[in-house]
């Protein structure tokens, strides 16, 4: 199960934070700070998995953004790496060559995409096409 | 319109915030916006509530408190339009979590929305429910969710399935409600629904064993079919990732299969074929393929797979190990650690690759590889593995050295079968990484050396040589200094040279030089210097000509700021100067350190037992029967061997029957030929005839370290060493006071045993043996040994002296502690031998 997903830039600013477990606001800030510290200093030669408290964090860096997912210790790390990549591809497709600014100004849309992709900490849909189509339908409703 | 309401659009606010140069500016902007939003909320301004909430969410993401917006979310959710509901639910998920009571108020709106005609609104509600519902909400809304599981719209269906997962996690009792719907989900075609369905099944299995049984019975077939279809499916652009169709579905299905097949042979057998197919067919050049293979291997190791399948799995892991991608190697090492418990043989084959990983540049891979190597060490490969590890020790970097040293030391201790090898390896480790060796380990080394009399000369010479090259390693210096102090004369006189040693000549002053260097070196710490001072004192007694020089060196520290050193220096100086007569006895060779006691203290378990390996017919008799050979024999060549000597592979006691020898009562690997077959002068007749050939085969795990291992690994091997009461002598049952007996009497020797039992510990008897020499010549190097049957444990304390003056003018006393594990049933029978 995914416990939380974080999108952070190199300075530590959180661009997206989705929690699937209950945490107080102050705890959330602490977690974001710790994860950022863990992830930002790692050498690119090292593995993409770090142990974090009693779970593990799978992270990947795309340009200036770190995409981190905290999962249970027993989960398949390689699968979540693919998961992160699929999410980035969807964002890229939706925003046409996404950059960090797109994510800042359209954060509510990013959350919407995420909610179509992952629900209750588990994968919801694996087809990029299906998610984009769905987003189109939702936009029409507005 | 309210004059205070903010007209700024979301974009503009974001731009304004980003344009702020300092934190104070940003705070000001945010404060202004919050104020206008607050005003709008209190005025109940409907026009901009949508925009306001979006702004609030952004402000929340920046880290500012936004609690006043929570009610606004609820209001928006309750409104009728889709956009308002959407932003309302979004705000709800972002600003609240399940622990807030405000959440309860949403339950009604959620219920209405779940029944809405607009499927997008239903989707919104399910999403919110799935992400943050609390246990009460879950209970309230379960019927709605169950109903929605049956709809035909795949979007709703999959959301409902995932929502059910959350419900089950929050309220495990409801799991059984979802069993039926879950299994029917597996018959769907839509991948999203399938994946959601499989995940629901996984959580059902975790939540309830009934559900597990149900699913196992009904769904195994379906699962295998799903996997087969998706694995064999042709190119499907929608789900294709790196040439594989929907790897996520593969992985989820494999996971569910693992849960269903665990512990159940039938379903495992059913899954065999498809697992083999997936394992062999999947390409492993891309991450997606490797992810599937990884899950496949985990599943194979988790279910009751055939051995062929298991070997296949471990081979895949072996391939992973040689992959250049760090992620893959990390994952493989992790899995191999779990696999070692299941099938150690197969993992052994990949030992070389794993050893390579120990030298990798990534720290977490190195750590994992080292742990795995540690698990793989066994008696056959320990020598080559240790050699590799020690070679690497030289090249490894600082942070890793500590770990590596600790692991090498424990491997060497656990598996060493010969003292010589153990000592050699430890010397190498000390020279390469002495600074990282823990105190425990070099203490154990010293104990070991003191227990290995014929290796002492070799040890001290090797240490001397090592010191010349690596004297910055603290522990090496300490061990060297101690050994030179103790065995200095062996060093100088080349005592006990082993065949492979190169001869060196060391003079007395060279030896003193070494200790002096250790003392004066700047990097030596207090312990080392203190040890050096003691060593110098010992040397001054062993090498009298150097006494004056040593005294001067010692005097140097008379004014040292460290109290310990100062005290030692002054005391030793006075000993050297004025108390020559007692000096030599003060610094006599240290008594052999009781190895098993040391190990026992270390391992926290009690002493290794002394019980001999072969049981014999217990002779019951009224009194302890001691059969002593007639006459005494030649003096033993070697000094007193610790009767508890566990490491007895040094030349177990000359096996020739003509020379008398000292027997290790433990008789671990005593290979001495049947003494009974030997000459008549052979005295040592271990009652348990450890010497007989058949006995040696009987000996369990002959090496000493077995008992250490026993302590460390299988506590059941070393039986509780303790305290049984020596029953032995039926005639003495009732009396708390036991009269002493005359154990042996001849014209030349008299032995008396006096018994005491400790109160409350009836199985232990303490015997004090008193020896009196009735002959006219003194016995020197007098040693007493005793052997007892298997159910008795004997501990012999050192004798009060080894010289027995003639004519009964003096006596030697020795304490024996005997524990009878079968108190009350069998009596003591013992045999004793004397080697004068």
Give yes or no for residue B664 having a pLDDT over 70: no
**Chain B residue with minimal CA distance to A27?**
B63
Alpha helices in B63-105 (DSSP H): 70-78, 82-95
Give the tokens for residue B773: 């020499």
Of A81, A119, A127, the CB nearest to B127: A119
Give me the pLDDT at residue B632, please. 34
DSSP characters over B635-654: PPSS-PPPTT---TTSTTS-
Residues of A in contact with B98 (CB under 8 A): 22
Could you tell me the pLDDT band of residue A94, with boundaries at 50, 70 and 90? very high
Task: Tell me the backbone φ, ψ of residue A36, rounded to 5 degrees.
Answer: -60, -45
**Chain B residue with minimal CA distance to A82?**
B288
B335: Cβ contacts below 8 Å, ≥ 6 apart? B294, B297, B298, B301, B317
Could you tell me the pLDDT band of residue B435, with boundaries at 50, 70 and 90? confident
pLDDT tens track for B64-86:
888 888 888 888 888 888 888 99
Give me the pLDDT at residue B737, please. 52
Minimum distance, in Å, between the CA of residue A77 and any CA atom of chain B: 8
CA–CA distances in Å: residue A116 to residues A87, A129, B274: 11, 12, 31
CA–CA distances in Å: residue B681 to residues B632, B658, B677, B830: 8, 7, 11, 20
Interface membership of B11 toward A (CB under 8 Å): yes
Alpha helices in B470-604 (DSSP H): 474-493, 508-520, 526-542, 547-555, 563-578, 580-586, 595-603
Three-class SS state of A2: strand
B96-100, B308-312, B457-461, B649-653, range with the lowest pLDDT? B649-653
Give yes or no for residue A131 having a pLDDT over 60: yes
Q: Contact B97/A107, CB-based, under 8 Å?
A: no
Selected residue with higher pLDDT from B90 and B344: B90
Angle CA B676–B677–B682, to nearest 5: 55
Give me the pLDDT at residue B759, please. 61
Give yes or no for residue B552 having a pLDDT over 80: yes
pLDDT tens track for B505-523:
777 778 888 888 888 887 7
Give the tokens for residue B281: 């067919």
Instruction: Give the whole-angstrom CA distance, residue A29 versus residue A23.
Output: 10
Instruction: Give the whole-angstrom CA distance, residue B641 versus residue B658.
Output: 19
Could you tell me the pLDDT band of residue B691, with boundaries at 50, 70 and 90? very low
Three-class SS state of B252: helix
Give yes or no for residue B426 having a pLDDT over 60: yes
A26-35, B26-35, B140-149, B484-493, range with the lowest pLDDT? B484-493
Selected residue with higher pLDDT from B243 and B769: B243
pLDDT tens track for B699-723:
333 333 333 333 333 333 333 333 3
Selected residue with higher pLDDT from B189 and B491: B189
Interface membership of B681 toward A (CB under 8 Å): no
Instruction: Give the whole-angstrom CA distance, residue B729 versus residue B737.
Output: 12
Give me the pLDDT at residue B806, please. 66
Instruction: Give the whole-angstrom CA distance, residue B397 versus residue B30.
Output: 50
Give yes or no for residue A93 having a pLDDT over 70: yes
The mean per-residue pLDDT over the stretch B292-318 comes to 89
pLDDT tens track for B12-22:
889 988 898 99
Q: What percentage of chain B exceeds 90 in pLDDT? A: 13
Could you tell me the pLDDT band of residue B658, with boundaries at 50, 70 and 90? very low
Give me the pLDDT at residue B276, please. 92
Give me the pLDDT at residue B360, please. 80
Instruction: Give the whole-angstrom CA distance, residue B822 versus residue B47.
Output: 93
Instruction: Give the whole-angstrom CA distance, residue B185 versus residue B154.
Output: 10
Query: From chain A, which residues contact B within 8 Å (Cβ)?
Result: 14-15, 17, 19-20, 22-23, 25, 29, 45-49, 76-79, 81-83, 86, 104-105, 107-108, 111-112, 115, 119-120, 122-130, 134, 137-138, 141-142
pTM: 0.66
Q: Contact B331/A77, CB-based, under 8 Å?
A: yes
DSSP characters over A38-65: HHHT--TTS-SEEEETTEEEEEEEETTE
Give me the pLDDT at residue A114, please. 94
Selected residue with higher pLDDT from B56 and B501: B56
Three-class SS state of B59: helix
Angle CA B162–B168–B171, to nearest 5: 145
pLDDT tens track for B772-813:
777 766 666 666 766 667 666 777 777 777 666 666 566 777
Three-class SS state of B431: helix
pLDDT tens track for B811-830:
777 777 777 665 554 455 55
Give me the pLDDT at residue A110, please. 93
Most confident residue range from B36-45, B268-277, B377-386: B268-277
Give yes or no for residue A18 having a pLDDT over 90: yes
The mean per-residue pLDDT over the stretch B573-594 comes to 76
A77-98 burial code (b ≥16 CB/10 A, e <16): bbbbbbbbbbbbebbebbbeeb
A6-10, B509-513, B685-689, B745-749, range with the lowest pLDDT? B685-689
Contacts across the A-B interface (CB distance below 8 Å): 136
Give the tokens for residue B580: 């020559």
pLDDT tens track for B521-536:
877 788 888 888 888 8
Cβ–Cβ < 8 Å for B772, B757: no
Give yes or no for residue B331 having a pLDDT over 70: yes
Give me the pLDDT at residue B782, please. 65
Interface membership of B328 toward A (CB under 8 Å): yes
Give yes or no for residue A117 having a pLDDT over 90: yes
How many angstroms from the chain centroid is the CA of residue B751?
Answer: 49
Give me the pLDDT at residue B795, please. 75
DSSP characters over B741-773: EEEEE-SSEEEEEEEEE-TT-TTEEEEEEEEEE
Interface membership of B241 toward A (CB under 8 Å): yes
List the beta bridge partners of residue A55.
Answer: A52
Q: What percentage of chain B exceeds 70 in pLDDT? A: 75
CB atoms within 10 A of CB B388: 18
For chain B, the average pLDDT equals: 75
B83-97, B207-221, B270-284, B350-364, range with the lowest pLDDT? B350-364
Residues of A in contact with B63 (CB under 8 A): 29
Of B58, B252, B326, the CB nearest to A107: B58
Residues present in chain A in total: 142
Q: What percentage of chain A exceeds 70 in pLDDT? A: 100
Using H for helix, E for strand and C for coil, what is the string for B487-511? HHHHHHHCCCCCCCCCCCCCCHHHH
B20-34, B267-281, B684-698, B781-795, range with the lowest pLDDT? B684-698
DSSP characters over B176-226: GGGHHHHHHHTT---HHHHHHHHHHHHHHHHH-HHHHHHHHHHHHHHHHHH
Place of tokens 């590889």: B369
Residues of B in contact with A48 (CB under 8 A): 327
Of A29, A49, A111, the CB nearest to B90: A111
ipTM: 0.94
């Amino acid at each position: 199960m995914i416990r939380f997903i974080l999108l952070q830039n190199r300075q530590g600013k959180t661009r997206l934070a989705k929690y699937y477990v209950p945490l107080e606001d102050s705890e959330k800030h602490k977690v974001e700070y710790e994860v950022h510290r863990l992830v930002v200093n790692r050498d690119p030669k090292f593995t993409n998995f770090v142990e974090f408290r009693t779970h593990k964090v799978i992270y990947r860096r795309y340009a200036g953004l770190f995409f981190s997912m905290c999962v249970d210790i027993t989960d398949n790390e390689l699968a979540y790496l693919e998961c992160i990549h699929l999410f980035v591809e969807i964002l890229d497709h939706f925003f046409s060559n996404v950059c960090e600014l797109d994510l800042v100004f359209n954060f509510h849309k990013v959350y919407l995409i995420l909610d179509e992709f992952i629900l209750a900490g588990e994968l919801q849909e694996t087809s990029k096409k299906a998610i984009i189509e769905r987003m189109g339908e939702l936009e029409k409703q507005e | 319109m309210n004059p205070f309401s903010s007209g700024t659009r979301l974009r503009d606010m974001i731009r304004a915030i980003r344009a702020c140069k300092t934190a104070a500016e940003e705070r000001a902007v945010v404060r202004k916006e919050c104020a206008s939003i607050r005003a709008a909320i209190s005025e109940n301004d409907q026009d901009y509530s949508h925009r306001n909430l979006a702004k609030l969410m952004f402000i929340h993401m920046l880290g500012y408190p936004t609690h006043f917006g929570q009610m606004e979310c609820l209001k928006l959710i309750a409104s009728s339009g889709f956009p308002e509901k959407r932003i309302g639910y979004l705000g709800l998920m972002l600003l609240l979590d399940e622990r807030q009571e405000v959440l309860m108020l949403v339950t009604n709106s959620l219920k209405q929305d779940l029944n809405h005609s607009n499927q997008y609104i239903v989707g919104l509600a399910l999403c919110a429910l799935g992400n943050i519902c609390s246990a009460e909400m879950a209970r309230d809304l379960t019927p709605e969710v169950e109903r929605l599981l049956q709809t035909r719209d795949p979007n709703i269906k999959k959301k409902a399935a995932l929502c059910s997962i959350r419900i089950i996690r929050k309220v495990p009792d409801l799991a059984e409600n979802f069993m039926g719907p879950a299994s029917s989900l597996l018959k769907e075609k839509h991948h999203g629904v399938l994946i959601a369905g499989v995940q629901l099944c996984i959580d059902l299995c975790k939540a309830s064993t009934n559900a597990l049984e149900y699913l196992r019975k009904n769904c195994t077939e379906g699962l295998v079919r799903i996997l087969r279809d998706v694995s064999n499916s042709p190119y499907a652009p929608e789900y294709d990732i790196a040439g594989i169709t929907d790897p996520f579905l593969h992985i989820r299905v494999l996971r569910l299969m693992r849960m269903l097949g665990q512990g159940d042979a039938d379903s495992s057998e059913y899954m065999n074929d498809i697992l083999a197919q997936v394992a062999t067919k999947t390409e492993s050049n891309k991450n997606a393929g490797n992810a599937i293979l990884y899950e496949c291997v985990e599943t194979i190791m988790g279910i009751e797979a055939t051995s062929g399948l298991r070997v296949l799995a471990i081979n895949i892991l072996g391939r992973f190990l040689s992959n250049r991608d760090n992620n893959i190697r990390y994952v493989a090492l992790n899995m191999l650690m779990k696999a070692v418990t299941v099938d150690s043989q197969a993992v052994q084959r990949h030992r070389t690759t794993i050893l390579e990983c120990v030298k990798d540049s990534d720290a977490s891979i190195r750590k994992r590889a080292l742990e795995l190597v540690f698990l793989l060490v066994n008696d056959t490969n320990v020598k080559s593995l240790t050699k590799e590890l020690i070679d690497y020790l030289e090249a490894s970097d600082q942070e890793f050295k500590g770990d590596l040293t600790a692991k090498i030391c424990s491997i060497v201790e656990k598996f060493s079968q010969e003292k010589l090898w153990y000592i050699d390896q430890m010397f190498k480790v000390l020279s390469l990484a002495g600074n990282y060796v823990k105190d425990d380990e070099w203490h154990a080394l010293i104990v070991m050396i003191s227990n290995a009399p014929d290796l002492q000369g070799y040890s001290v010479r090797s240490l001397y040589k090592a010191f010349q090259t690596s004297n910055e390693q603290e522990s090496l210096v300490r061990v060297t200094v101690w050994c030179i102090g103790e065995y200095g004369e062996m060093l100088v006189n080349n005592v006990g040279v082993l065949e492979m040693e190169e001869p060196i000549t060391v003079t007395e002053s060279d030896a003193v030089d070494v200790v002096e260097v250790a003392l004066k070196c700047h990097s030596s710490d207090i312990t080392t210097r203190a040890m050096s001072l003691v060593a110098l004192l010992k040397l001054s007694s062993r090498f009298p000509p150097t006494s004056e020089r040593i005294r001067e060196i010692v005097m140097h520290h008379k004014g040292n700021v460290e109290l310990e050193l100062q005290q030692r220096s002054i005391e030793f100086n006075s000993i050297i100067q004025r108390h020559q007569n007692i000096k030599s006895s003060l610094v006599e060779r240290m008594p052999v350190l009781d190895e098993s006691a040391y190990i026992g203290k270390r391992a926290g378990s009690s002493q290794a037992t002394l019980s001999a390996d072969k049981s014999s017919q217990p002779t019951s008799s009224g009194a302890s029967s001691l059969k002593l050979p007639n006459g005494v024999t030649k003096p033993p060549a070697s000094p007193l061997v610790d009767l508890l000597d566990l490491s007895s592979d040094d030349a177990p006691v000359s096996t020739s029957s003509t020379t008398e020898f000292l027997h290790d009562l433990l008789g671990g690997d005593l290979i001495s030929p049947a003494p009974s077959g030997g000459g008549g002068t052979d005295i040592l007749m271990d009652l348990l005839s450890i010497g007989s050939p058949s006995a040696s085969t009987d000996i369990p795990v002959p090496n000493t370290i077995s008992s250490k291992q026993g302590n460390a690994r299988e506590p059941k091997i070393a039986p509780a060493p303790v305290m049984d009461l020596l029953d032995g002598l039926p005639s003495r049952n009732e009396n708390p006071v036991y009269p002493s007996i005359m154990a042996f009497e001849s014209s030349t020797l008299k032995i008396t045993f006096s018994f005491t039992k400790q109160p409350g510990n009836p199985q232990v008897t303490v015997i004090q043996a008193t020896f009196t020499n009735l002959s006219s010549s003194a016995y020197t190097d007098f040693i007493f040994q005793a052997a007892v049957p298997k159910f008795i444990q004997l501990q012999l304390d050192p004798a009060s002296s080894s010289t027995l003056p003639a004519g009964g003018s003096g006596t030697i006393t020795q304490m024996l502690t005997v524990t009878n594990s079968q108190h009350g049933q069998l009596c003591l029978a013992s045999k004793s031998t004397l080697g004068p």
